[in-house]
Structure 1
Amino acid sequence: MKSITINGSKRESVGKKATKALRNAGQVPCVLYGRDAEPLHFSADEIAFNDLVYTPDVHTVEIKLAGGEKIDAILQDIQFHPVTDAILHVDFYQIQEDRPITMEIPIHTVGVARGVKNGGVLRYNLRRLKVRGLAKELPDFIEANVTKLKIGQKLYVTAVESEEYTIQHPDNTVICQVRTSRNIVALDEEDEDEVPADEVPSTETDDVAAVKEGEDS
């Protein structure tokens, strides 16, 4: 997984006045958790978070503190101003090589669904998957092949299982599905035939088995 660097300075004071002064100076107060010692309080330039926050990609972070200390971490939580959307506070969690972490990884679909070719529309229920695994084994994105999906079929999270991570969603969570539209074209004989179950892993046509949209996302 790609990593970005954020340069920061340890904070001597964590009171409200000191925090306000940091923000006025264009700094963001941060806390690093997951250490054997107490949480580490530091600050960094607000502009340093652009490549971490305002992107669809996911990254790990190398925090470089004044004095030479370097810490590998992941973004855990971020708070924004309700009006200006300025970053108010950021929480990080320290990465340890032998301990799994939980992250939301983007989903990239591959191929054109069979049902879309016949006039259906591909609808997404999830854009990211919450997975757990060792940081060094987590991918930049997760590929979901939709090529064999026919109209009415759904792709479930079980279709993208991997030994590198554990999916933190129920097995019946839907990633995407092909729905009907006004532009349905006549199906040819090949498409009218049933698709063998082993050709469409983790998909179903029974709407009862589908997860409510967004319920598990």
Structure 2
Amino acid sequence: MVQTIRIEAEARGRAGKGAARATRREGLVPGVVYGAKREATLVAFDPRDIMKELHKGSWQSHVYDVVVKDGPTERALLREVQFHPVTDRPIHIDFQRLAPGARIRIKVPVVFKHEDSCPGLKAGGVLNLVRRELEVLVDPEAVPETFHIDLAEAKIGDSIRWSAVVDKADAKPVITGRDFVVATIAPPTVVEEVAAPVAAAEPAKKGGKAAAKPAAKAPAAAAAAPAKKK
């Protein structure tokens, strides 16, 4: 089951762009917790706490307890992060509050087991990932950390589908009506060698011999001797 992560926040009194800019000038990231048919809670976060979560990866698959100073603790999903277009720092955070007893829509990463002993991969096949994460509807208290698929018997040409997922934890896929493909074992890529072009044959020589080079010109005749004086 996925771990619930605690993140601390401060309450904000006002909404709007001006109030959000004032929060950023104080060195905090403005945010909101909404949903479950209740009034939205305006909050602000330490940017270091936000960056710590973003660097973990798969933050959309985590459940958070947003602990508001001098306020309520909200169980929520981190739904959206807005970034500054130049600095790439977070400038606004949206959390979706979880309603008691309601299923949540969440993405869970896929982990493949026994890749080292997979017959298809040992034969030179390639694991082609169609979906790295699977989006499902699940009870917030039973969200799996990952979905596992066993490749111990997968061969070249096999398609690994949703039905191959181990321990679904009562999760229901968002894609319904078919046993959709998660990955395939593709055949190895064959690179054909292209033969180098054969050099053009030299033209046939007359008589089987090389044509004789033109004879060098004879040296010019010596100049006539001058006539003797009488």
| TM-score, scaled relative to structure 1 | 0.77
Structure 2 gaps, min length 5? 191-230
Select between 106-115 and 16-25 the one with higher mean Cα deviation.
16-25
Retained in 1: the 8 A contact 2:36–2:98? no
Larger radius of gyration between Structure 1 and Structure 2 = 2
* Alignment of structure 1 residues 26-175 onto 2, 5 Å: 26-57=27-58, 58-112=61-115, 113-160=118-165, 162=168, 164-170=170-176, 171-175=178-182
The reply on whether 1:18 has 2:25 as its aligned counterpart is no
Query: Considering only aligned residues, what root-mean-square deviation do their CA atoms show, in Å?
Result: 1.9
Secondary structure of 1:92's aligned partner: strand
What amino acid is aligned across from residue 15 of structure 2 in structure 1? V
For residues 75-114 of structure 1, give each alpha carbon's deviation from its aligned partner in whole angstroms, at most 9, with x where no partner exists: 1222222332211221111123311111101111111232
Paired residues of 1:62 and 1:72 also in contact (CA < 8 A): yes
Q: Deviations over 1:121-170 (max 9, x none)?
A: 11111111111111111111111112222111111123227352101124
Distance 2:76 2:17 in 1: 25
SS of equivalent to 1:150: coil
Paired positions, count: 183
| Percent of aligned pairs with the same amino acid | 26
Which stretches in structure 1 are left out of the alignment for 5+ residues?
184-217
- CA separation in 1, counterparts of 2:148 and 2:122? 20
| Farther-moved stretch of structure 1 (18-27 vs 71-80) | 18-27
- In 1: Cα distance, 2:79 partner to 2:126 partner: 34
Partner Cα distance (1:68, 1:10) in 2: 7
**CA contact 1:157–1:169 (8 Å) conserved in 2:** no
Mapped to 1, the partners of 2:91 and 2:106 lie a distance apart of 22
Hey, what's the Cα distance between the residues in 1 that align with 2:143 and 2:111?
15
What secondary structure does 1:39 align onto?
strand
Paired residue type of 2:102? R
Whole-angstrom distance in 1 between the partners of 2:48 and 2:95: 17
Residue 45 of structure 1, CA deviation = 0.9
Displaced runs of 4+ in structure 1, greater than 3 A? Answer: none
Cα distance between partner residues in 2 of 1:25 and 1:147: 54
Output the CA distance in 1 between the equivalents of 2:126 and 2:163: 22
8 Å contact kept, 1:52–1:59: no
